A and B are shown apart, each in its own frame.
Chain A
């Protein structure tokens, strides 16, 4: 178990190192998130209070699209030079390959989210600093949900020719529960509605979603990678 965790950390570190060197997906994902947020702010002429009402929905739609760009590269990064074969042939269990990839995608998507949050606050005149920590807790849980499902589907579609199209088509239906919960919690939080993160049912839904999909993906990944 500890060997598997150590291998997962090595794989996550490798993915982050190569990504920060090449900036293949983080540049595309961050610029996409920023451009959409800026464009939406000019596209709608609505009152400040109404912006609060759509803030959660807008934010999580942007984050989920940005996330798809990041998870798409998760396993595709291993295709040049047949590196995935070498990872599978190593004594590392398949779940630790998956875990390393999911952690790297999680860190990258969290970076994009944190980068776009100030832009969101500025262009929509929404004060988020006062609720940053509860918002960060929601972001952590929902982002893990997006990346764990995304990394699993990235492994499933890695050898599919149209994987860039196939992955989002499979990803978004599965993300509906996590996106609805994150949208509702974020809207309530930014709209100054009282939210008790410890007892809120949406928060529990996020937690259960993460646990179920993480366990499922870690169990199934060996059957996905070795056909």
Chain B
């Protein structure tokens, strides 16, 4: 049973095909590292899976509640950290959004500044708030686009802990990343996108963990 399935997905921006028949099947409870160079189509594929964009051709199936962390942090600058999370808790239909928001803030270490406006936060704190927002409702499927980019060491640790907890709880994770080493530590599966096509998809192997460049050298169209 797949949590996420993409079959022969094409996406055109004008005449340019950002995705060219991409196939991706992710089993429930897997953690997939979606790798690829800039412009390979990682963000486009994730946006289609998150229902932020329609595929031009092909089929998408997503079985479960989504948590999405994109390039933007997705929180309102003129709301406090607590107000932000309560709002997203309400939109996710949580029974007690205020309680869930407080718990989430505690998990990312922002309880002390819960009433501070998001615009007053440092970059690292804003990133942690974004992480808290994405994990707030304990989603079945987490779609993370470059989640480690511009995180400070504390935020990286928080994110890794939350990802490990989510995996242990049976969640499915798909994360696009250039930080291969961090991703490989968590990933159970790996997919490599090249020019809008998935050129490799399979379990993460010991070789990949030992040598993060191995996948690009072995399966990439243009060796690194």
Chain A interfacial positions (CB closer than 8 Å to B): 3, 6-7, 10-11, 14, 17-18, 21-22, 80-83, 85-92, 226-227
Question: Chain B residue with minimal CB distance to A223?
Answer: B54
The answer, yes or no, to whether B71 is at the interface (CB within 8 Å) is yes
Q: How far is the CA of A81 from the CA of B54 in the complex (A)?
A: 21
* Contacting residue for B51 out of A18, A81, A89, CB 8 A: A89
Contacts of B44-86 to chain A: CB distance below 8 A: 47, 50-54, 65-66, 68, 70-79, 83
B87 proximity list for chain A (CB < 8 A):
10, 14
* Contacting residue for A227 out of B54, B73, B88, CB 8 A: B54
B73 proximity list for chain A (CB < 8 A):
81-82
Q: Are B92 and A91 in contact (CB under 8 A)?
A: yes
Q: How far is the CA of A91 from the CA of B53 in the complex (A)?
A: 15
The answer, yes or no, to whether B91 is at the interface (CB within 8 Å) is yes
* Contacting residue for A85 out of B65, B68, B83, B93, CB 8 A: B68
Q: Are A88 and B52 in contact (CB under 8 A)?
A: yes
B114 proximity list for chain A (CB < 8 A):
none
B143 proximity list for chain A (CB < 8 A):
89
Question: Chain B residue with minimal CB distance to A77?
Answer: B76
Interface residue count on the B side (C-beta < 8 Å): 28
The answer, yes or no, to whether B99 is at the interface (CB within 8 Å) is no
Q: Are B53 and A227 in contact (CB under 8 A)?
A: yes
Q: How far is the CA of A178 from the CA of B151 in the complex (A)?
A: 51
A89 proximity list for chain B (CB < 8 A):
50-52, 66, 68, 143
Given contacts A85-B52, A89-B52, A226-B53, contact A7 B70 (CB under 8 A): no
The answer, yes or no, to whether B7 is at the interface (CB within 8 Å) is no
Q: How far is the CA of A89 from the CA of B68 in the complex (A)?
A: 7
* Contacting residue for B93 out of A3, A17, A21, CB 8 A: A3
Given contacts A89-B50, A226-B51, contact A10 B91 (CB under 8 A): yes
Q: How far is the CA of A226 from the CA of B53 in the complex (A)?
A: 5
Besides A85-B72, A87-B91, 20 new A-B residue pairs in contact (Cβ under 8 A), listed by A number: A3-B93, A6-B90, A7-B93, A14-B76, A14-B79, A14-B87, A21-B78, A81-B75, A81-B77, A82-B71, A83-B75, A85-B68, A86-B75, A89-B50, A89-B51, A90-B88, A91-B93, A92-B91, A226-B52, A227-B53
For the complex of A and B, the 9 pairs showing the least CB-CB separation, nearest first, are A82-B72, A86-B74, A89-B68, A10-B90, A18-B78, A90-B91, A81-B72, A89-B50, A81-B73
Q: Are A86 and B66 in contact (CB under 8 A)?
A: no
B197 proximity list for chain A (CB < 8 A):
none
Question: Chain B residue with minimal CB distance to A225?
Answer: B52
Q: How far is the CA of A110 from the CA of B51 in the complex (A)?
A: 34
Q: Are B72 and A83 in contact (CB under 8 A)?
A: yes
Q: Are A86 and B88 in contact (CB under 8 A)?
A: yes
Q: How far is the CA of A216 from the CA of B90 in the complex (A)?
A: 26
A10 proximity list for chain B (CB < 8 A):
87, 90-91
A88 proximity list for chain B (CB < 8 A):
51-52
* Contacting residue for A83 out of B66, B71, B74, CB 8 A: B74
The contact sample of 19 A-B pairs, CB cut-off 8 A, is A7-B91, A10-B87, A11-B91, A14-B76, A18-B78, A81-B72, A81-B76, A82-B72, A83-B74, A83-B76, A85-B68, A85-B70, A86-B70, A86-B88, A89-B50, A89-B66, A226-B52, A226-B54, A227-B53
Whole-angstrom distance from the CB of B128 to the nearest CB of chain A?
A: 14
Given contacts A10-B90, A91-B65, contact A22 B78 (CB under 8 A): yes
The answer, yes or no, to whether B42 is at the interface (CB within 8 Å) is no
A22 proximity list for chain B (CB < 8 A):
78
* Contacting residue for A80 out of B68, B77, B91, B92, CB 8 A: B77
